[in-house]
Amino acid sequence: MNLLSGASFERLQGAIDTSNLRQKVIANNIANADTPNFKRSDVSFESMLEQEMDRNSSSLIGNRTDSRHFYIGPQSGSMVSPQVTTDETTVYNNNLNNVDMDKEMSQLAQNQLKYNALIQQLNHDIKMKRVVLEGR
Amino acid sequence: MNISNSFNISASALTAQRLRMDVVSSNIANAETTRGRYVDGKFEPYRRKMVVMQPYQEGSFASALQSELGEPDVGKGVKITQIKEDQAPFKQVYNPTHPDADSNGYVSMPNVDVLKEMVDMISATRAYESNVTALNASKSMFMKALEIGK
């Protein structure tokens, strides 16, 4: 029934969305490389996802007997959403701007490769499902 | 999520850097212009122009709506808000044969320092290049997304 909504499929979707968001953030950092007082932003997702998955393996889970109860421990089907953080603490340039062009460029390349890998993985998933459907 | 937004961000930077380049060109072209403006019956030399850049922000309603919708706030690129004139004093050059020389033989020349302009030009060129790289990266990601499910 849930052919296209497995956990890995949703995680892939979340990762692709995050990659898109990161592309925007990096593009904005590069665009503002000469803007006085601009502070660079970052997208954190992988570390949060890791935390969430670690939490999934922890044993303490609160038993909810009422819909008004708080969640204790991991929630089933909870999705991590990416966060944009701005680095206000450093100063790299004379004009209080902290965009490091080398860092942005390498992150741009890294993000692009990651995006390609994710799309490839997604296509692989779809191809496997197609094999099941067509039976050959 | 809308990837075309990252195109717009890079495009805004390309526009801004191009304008910066135009201003540098104008400054260099007018480095010897003694009749930049006619003020009170007298010619004034050309004044060096400078650009003021600022991160592009949308109106408060749009950003408030976006944060209510739970979408993370990403910047919207860059824009040039102002072209300012340098108020530094004009260079005085002794040249009695110049048509705009004063009674002592001194001519007011524009306050353009060609060295400064060259540095600014290199900076604008490099910034333009890196934004083109970012734009190409966005483009190839977009093309890759079209391959989903092929």
Helix axis angle, B4-29 to B114-145, nearest 10°: 160
Backbone angles phi and psi of A118, in degrees to 5: -65, -45
Task: Check whether A109 has a pLDDT greater than 90.
Answer: yes
What's the confidence (pLDDT) of residue B28?
96
What's the confidence (pLDDT) of residue A62?
76
The pLDDT mean for chain A works out to: 83
Mean predicted confidence (pLDDT) in B19-37: 93
**Strand A83-86 and strand B91-94: pairing?**
unpaired
Task: Check whether A121 has a pLDDT greater than 50.
Answer: yes
Task: Check whether B3 has a pLDDT greater than 60.
Answer: no
What's the confidence (pLDDT) of residue A115?
95
Instruction: With beta carbons less than 8 A apart as the criterion, state whether B109 and B91 touch.
Output: yes
Distance from CA of A125 to the nearest CA of B (A): 9
ipTM over 0.85: no
Kindly state the tokens that stand for A37. 């007082």
Backbone angles phi and psi of B76, in degrees to 5: -115, 15
Q: Cα–Cα distances in Å, from B75 out to A50, A62, B129?
A: 27, 40, 20
Q: Does B24 contact A at CB distance below 8 Å? A: no
Distance between CA atoms of residues B49 and B135, nearest Å: 29
Task: Name residues whose C-beta falls within 8 Å of residue A92's C-beta, 6 or more positions apart in sequence.
Answer: A98, A99, A100
Q: Does A111 contact B at CB distance below 8 Å? A: yes
Best residue in B12, B15, B141, B143 for a mutation probing chain A (most A CBs within 10 Å): B141
Distance from CA of A56 to the nearest CA of B (A): 24
Task: Check whether B112 has a pLDDT greater than 90.
Answer: yes
Which H helix or E strand runs over B108? strand B106-109
Task: Check whether B1 has a pLDDT greater than 50.
Answer: no
Q: Which of A3, A90, A114, A84 is nearest to A38 (CA)?
A: A90
- In DSSP notation, A31-87 reads HTTT-TT---EEEE-HHHHHHHHHHHH-S--PPPSSTTSPP-SPPTT-----EEEE-
Mean predicted confidence (pLDDT) in A74-83: 66
